Amino acid sequence: MLRVTKASVESLMILMEEDENMRKLVSLLLLVAMLGTLPVLPAVAEGAQEPLTVTVFVGEARDQPTSDNKIFKKIEEEFGLKFEFEFLAGDLNETLGVKIAGQDYADLMDGGNYAEKLIEAGALIDLMPYISQEKTPNIYAYIEPYLGRLLNDAGQLFIIPNYGRYYNTEEYGMNYVNGPAFFLQKKVLAWAGYPMIKTLDEYFDLIERYVAANPTNDKGAKNEGFAILCDDWRAFCLFNPVQHLMGRPNDGDVIVDIDNNYKTEAYVIQDYAKPYYKKLNEMYHKGLISQDTFVMNYDQYIAKLSSGTVVGMFDQAWDFNNATDALKAAEMFDSTYQGLPIVYSAEQAGKEITEHYLNGTVINVNRGFGISVNCQHPERMVQFMEKMLDDEWQKIIWWGVEGEDYSMENGRFVRTYDQIQNAANAVWRNANSAYVLTNSMPKKQGEMDDGNKWDPLVQPECYYLMMNDYDKDFLTHYNMKRPLDFFNDPIKLAPYGEAWQIDSTVNQDANDAKLAFQDLERKMLPQIIMCEESEFDAKWDAFVTAVKDIPITDFVDFMQEQILNLVAKNTAK
Amino acid sequence: MRTAKATVGSPTAVTREYRRTPFGRKLWHQRQLALMSVPMLLYILLFNYSPLWGWITAFMNYKPSVPLFENEWVGFQNFVWLFGKPEFLRAIRNTFAMAAINLVFGFVFPIALALLLNEIRSLRFKRTVQTVTYLPHFLSWVIVVGIAQTIFAGDGAINRMILALGLAEKPVFFLGEGKYFWWLVGGINLWKECGWNTIIYLAAMASIDPALYEAAEMDGAGRFRKMFHITLPGIKSTFMVLLIMNIGYLMEAGFEIQYLMGQNVVMDWSQTIDIFALKYGINKGQYSRAIAAGIFKSLVSITLMLSANFIAKRMGEDTLL
């Protein structure tokens, strides 16, 4: 083919030299020939727009999707959009700080847990001008019930939440524990004869007995009683437990008394926080908490959990998914974790506590994509998100392609065991899922109109198929169907939502106080846990004084005000 | 072509005029060298001097989204904030302490090692030792710190040794107690850079005239006498130049190692000025505060270097400037 072309060009060249007129003709012919050799453009689907490459920043470390990823191909065919990803490498807070300093924003920015920084720095545009019932019916329906919580005081919206909008159901919609809990290896509960563990004392007592009887695991590695992750923002594992022990769901750094006019306080410095750290101090001196736990980073933590030597810890399940996957991959099913709703005894708390670990459905305020000021096509981006909220696209996002990734049986969405395994496989996802993009986009959760669940993990058929035999057997001993049955039903969400979502960066003093507070917690709480028992009270008092001297009221008063505002906004409606 | 050649061969009136001044004549003689240094000069101007103009933001409440001169001027408020912050004062202390440890370790051990290596007769052995000791220089800090964290962990090699020898009853918390932190940093730095730093001293020693050693031998000097009276004085000027340069770097206690090793528990001992600027400035979006901290650091560095230079001049030594 090539040779023929070359030969014909050569003969044309000879002709060209002979005649001036011929030359013009030949040039024309050559031009036509060149146009013919241009790569054939992909067949343009109906409604497609001119091709556009969109740059995307995602504040999490992920893999690049493969170039022939089947879902991204579909998106390109329908919307003419190509995506260029930048994933997080290193520390998110720093990366954003540097990006802000250089005004170096991708078109779509997912600032993860520090998204407020982007808003504060003016990196994102207000989306409300692009959203209306007529122009974007899907998005409007998506945010409408939560407008009171989503819009700021100026009526602006910078990020359409990526999770937490439940359709057709008020139900929590999970079968598994994804949030906070005191976790314990399943084999420990099995060893003890499947008891119900409810209080802090019972929990640590079991850990103590288990480690005494089993100093090493079945591979001969030393067992560690209780791990505490203290790395960066994940240090919530160190200070969040107190509010849950007091029977409240996750409100971040404060605890809110909903029965007492939403009175807000910083719980770590209250008297009821002391028994928890006293207990940890005791456990430390018994050798059940290793000193290394206070200096390990997140990767080391995951590595430790994955090795199956950590008996228990407080955490949120999504925070150690990687370790759970690793344990399953190594078929160490008995070393995976069961979350337990541990609370204080009446004596420790000063009152009777009912556990309330689970909140009702929560809209994920300020988490997901914002459109940056550098984006040239904001209208098109919003329209893209709008179209992706169509049921047809939502099915692709959640379930994939029918016949390949799932099938329909009697009106139900089902997956085979292999399809379920695929969906959990990171390498498979690189080529067959647009997860890296859609994870940050608004999504429907809850139920479809026909009663199927949007999230395959929540679809009962898939969930039971996915559970391994060990887990099924484990739950049978408890006479339960789901790991979630260990918990009380979710409480209806308070009108202010979850207080951790409240953005304190808008108030410099409150923000300075909050960061100073967290620094003190990270620095002094480990020292308190490790100190001699005789020094405990003095160290505790020093900590409380230091926090009060910040002054912490700068932060707490701000939170109190915001919570009352939100309550007023959301109950008036 | 021909005209160009003529210009080089017979300078125009202007250059001839220029060449009359002593500086001009000197420059003309060294014109090739001068030309070669132009790229470096441009590089320094572009990357080291022109960014200095950003220092003005230290006197503003700077927000990147606002055009530069529409930011609010706040005078010395950011500096006042810095010096009112105990964390910053601690960061200054930590920076100086760790830099001083590095400075002392960085001179004593490499010179000692260089002296020892210099006395070795077997060339092969000398080369091997040299290579082995300078290889860690090429490891990245992430790896070095990872190794150190494993070795010094509660169940790491060092603690196992201590427990086995009965030197302590329970593992020493090297990574989590402030009092160990500076020395750990000093030690790890030493391990990584000692071999590398000997190279320059070995080179200086190689340039000492062998006739001096021969003469000393004739006078009956032994090995140690030769070391003290010939080798050490022979590298004195190298030593002085390096000392002055390193004093200029006294505020650079390093960044990566403290950043990677300094966990929350030891933050009172591990935070250097750079980490402080990163944490309280860049991470919190307070760029002006970060720049104020940087300015302070630069000014102290310049002062230190100039005074070291001055003192060296007074002592009649070779100086840098």
In this complex, is the C-beta atom of A360 within 8 Å of any C-beta atom belonging to chain B? no
Place of tokens 């030769």: B226
Number of domains in chain B: 2
- Residues B139 and B201 placed together within one structural domain of the fold: yes
Q: Could you tell me if residue B175 is inside a domain?
A: no
Residue A508 has pLDDT above 50, yes or no: yes
CB contact under 8 A, A100 and B285: yes
- Residues B67 and B29 placed together within one structural domain of the fold: no
pLDDT for the residue numbered A2 = 40
Residue A211 has pLDDT above 60, yes or no: yes
pLDDT in tens, A128-160: 999 999 999 999 999 998 888 888 888 999 999
One-letter amino acid of B54: G
In this complex, is the C-beta atom of A476 within 8 Å of any C-beta atom belonging to chain B? no
What's the average model confidence in pLDDT over A249-278? Answer: 94
Residue A36: pLDDT band with limits 50, 70, 90: very low
- Residues B33 and B77 placed together within one structural domain of the fold: no
- Residues B26 and B66 placed together within one structural domain of the fold: no
pLDDT in tens, B83-108: 988 889 999 999 999 999 999 999 99
pLDDT in tens, A454-479: 988 888 888 877 788 899 999 999 99
What token pair was written down for A265? 């306080």
pLDDT in tens, B155-167: 889 999 999 998 8
Higher pLDDT residue, A201 or B28? A201
pLDDT for the residue numbered A210 = 97
Alpha-carbon span B312 to B321, nearest angstrom: 10
Q: Could you tell me if residue B167 is inside a domain?
A: no
pLDDT for the residue numbered A560 = 96
- Residues B192 and B308 placed together within one structural domain of the fold: yes
Q: Could you tell me if residue B153 is inside a domain?
A: no
- Residues B1 and B83 placed together within one structural domain of the fold: no
Residue A430: pLDDT band with limits 50, 70, 90: very high
pLDDT for the residue numbered B9 = 45
Residue of B233, B242, B237, B251 whose CA lies nearest to B301: B251
Residue range(s) defining the domain that contains residue B76: 58-146+183-314
Query: A255 - beta bridge partners?
Result: A265
One-letter amino acid of B275: I
What's the average model confidence in pLDDT over A32-36? Answer: 51
Alpha-carbon span A276 to A245, nearest angstrom: 9
The pLDDT mean for chain B works out to 86
What's the average model confidence in pLDDT over B211-215? Answer: 92
Q: Are B316 and B240 in contact (CB under 8 A)?
A: no
One-letter amino acid of B206: A
CATH number for the domain spanning B129: value is 1.10.3720.10
> Least CB-CB distance to A523: which of B64, B171, B265?
B265
CB contact under 8 A, A103 and B64: yes
What is the Cα A423 distance to its own chain's centre? Answer: 17
Question: In terms of DSSP bridges, do strands A254-257 and A263-266 run parallel, antiparallel, or are they unpaired?
Answer: antiparallel
Q: Where do the DSSP E strands lie in A33-80? A: 52-58
Q: Which residues of B touch A (CB under 8 A)?
A: 63-66, 149, 153-155, 171, 173, 175-176, 263-268, 278, 282-285, 287
Residue A305 has pLDDT above 50, yes or no: yes
CB contact under 8 A, B263 and A294: yes
Q: Could you tell me if residue B243 is inside a domain?
A: yes
In this complex, is the C-beta atom of A294 within 8 Å of any C-beta atom belonging to chain B? yes
Residue B233 has pLDDT above 80, yes or no: yes
CA A142 to chain B, closest CA, distance in angstroms equals 30
What residues contact residue A87 under an 8 Å CB cut-off, 6+ apart? A58, A60, A61, A62, A63, A64, A436
- Residues B131 and B88 placed together within one structural domain of the fold: yes
What token pair was written down for B158? 């060092």
- Residues B112 and B195 placed together within one structural domain of the fold: yes
Higher pLDDT residue, A156 or B10? A156
Residue B7 has pLDDT above 50, yes or no: no
Q: Are B291 and B57 in contact (CB under 8 A)?
A: yes
Residue B2 has pLDDT above 60, yes or no: no
CB contact under 8 A, B155 and A222: yes
Q: Could you tell me if residue B309 is inside a domain?
A: yes
pTM of the model: 0.78
Place of tokens 């969405």: A413
- Residues B190 and B139 placed together within one structural domain of the fold: yes
Q: Could you tell me if residue B46 is inside a domain?
A: no
- Residues B141 and B9 placed together within one structural domain of the fold: no
Residue A42: pLDDT band with limits 50, 70, 90: very low
Tally DSSP H helices, then E strands, for chain B: 18, 2
pLDDT in tens, A74-92: 999 999 999 999 999 888 8
The pLDDT mean for chain A works out to 87
Residue A21: pLDDT band with limits 50, 70, 90: low
Q: Are A553 and A516 in contact (CB under 8 A)?
A: no
What's the average model confidence in pLDDT over A404-430? Answer: 89
Q: Are A430 and A69 in contact (CB under 8 A)?
A: yes
pLDDT over 70, % of chain B: 92
Handedness of CA A470, A476, A477, A479 (dihedral sign): positive
What token pair was written down for A508? 């410099």
pLDDT for the residue numbered B12 = 55
b/e code A330-343 from CB counts within 10 Å (16+ = b): eebbbbbbbbbbbb
pLDDT for the residue numbered A43 = 44
Residue of A304, A326, A358 whose CA lies nearest to A486: A358
CA A285 to chain B, closest CA, distance in angstroms equals 11
Residue A26 has pLDDT above 60, yes or no: no
Interface test with B, best of A224, A228, A292 (most B CBs within 10 A): A292
Residue A252 has pLDDT above 60, yes or no: yes
Q: Could you tell me if residue B173 is inside a domain?
A: no
> Least CB-CB distance to A94: which of B149, B176, B278?
B278
- Residues B69 and B141 placed together within one structural domain of the fold: yes
Cis status of the peptide bond prior to A551, with omega within 30 of 0: yes
- For residue B254, is it left (φ>0), alpha (ψ between -120 and 50) or beta? left
Interface test with A, best of B149, B169, B179, B265 (most A CBs within 10 A): B265
- Residues B99 and B202 placed together within one structural domain of the fold: yes
Residue A52 has pLDDT above 90, yes or no: yes
| Candidate from A6-15, A297-306, A313-322, B118-127 with smallest mean pLDDT | A6-15
pLDDT in tens, A341-368: 999 999 999 899 999 898 877 788 889 9
